[in-house]
Amino acid sequence: MPTDIIIYHNPECGTSRNALGLIRNAGIEPHVIEYLKTPPARPLLAQLIERAGITPRDLLREKGTPYAELGLGDESLTDEALLDAMMAHPILINRPLVVSQLGVKLCRPSEVVLDMLPSPQQGAFAKEDGERVVDERGQRVV
């Protein structure tokens, strides 16, 4: 049975690169969507948020974004207003967001992606910072 995985990816983000590496370490070549170049349409983004069981605020990224200057910390802002901000400034969308047959998740930390993969890891994997996530047998390091 084919495995279809989508990762909304930012190649400048270490967490996103680590999640992509873990997907590939399971022998899966995902559909990689560089969401800063090709942001999801608003209805799709809203659907992904709903399927992930989170709120638009949960998907907002603060660091390295116009979050503060746009006043997005204001708790009275509606979900619609937050979606508007993410559409206008895709850098506000946190990453990586992964879609698989097992659901949708914001994979922070990157090893959360292991719960999204229908295939086991094929070997050892360490994050870019050297932290071991998967051992030589393909087992998650706890």
Q: List, by residue number, the catalytic residues.
A: 13
pLDDT digits (tens, 9 = 90+) for 48-75: 999 999 999 999 999 999 999 999 999 9
DSSP β-bridge partners for residue 136 = none
Domain assignment present for residue 115? The answer is yes
> What integer pLDDT is reported at residue 79 of this predicted model?
98
Domain assignment present for residue 1? The answer is no
Domain assignment present for residue 140? The answer is no
Q: Is the pLDDT of residue 45 over 50?
A: yes
**Distance (Å, whole) CA 57 – CA 77:** 9
- Number of helical (H) and strand (E) elements in the chain, helices listed first: 4, 6
Looking at the structure of the chain, the number of domains it has is 1
Instruction: Tokens for 88, please give them.
Output: 């206008």
Domain assignment present for residue 139? The answer is no
Instruction: Tokens for 73, please give them.
Output: 């910390």
- SS percent in the chain: helix, strand, coil, step 5: 35, 15, 50
* CATH code of the domain containing 90: 3.40.30.10
Domain assignment present for residue 142? The answer is no
Q: Is the pLDDT of residue 2 over 70?
A: no
Q: Is the pLDDT of residue 20 over 60?
A: yes
Average pLDDT, the chain: 96
Angle at 6 between CA 112 and CA 84, to 5 degrees: 90
> What integer pLDDT is reported at residue 26 of this predicted model?
97
Q: Is the pLDDT of residue 1 over 70?
A: no
pLDDT digits (tens, 9 = 90+) for 94-122: 999 999 999 999 999 999 999 999 999 99
Residue 122: how many CA atoms within 13 Å on its side-chain side? 9
Domain assignment present for residue 87? The answer is yes
Domain assignment present for residue 112? The answer is yes
Domain assignment present for residue 141? The answer is no
Q: Residue 99's domain spans which residues?
A: 6-134
Residue 12: how many CA atoms within 13 Å on its side-chain side? 6
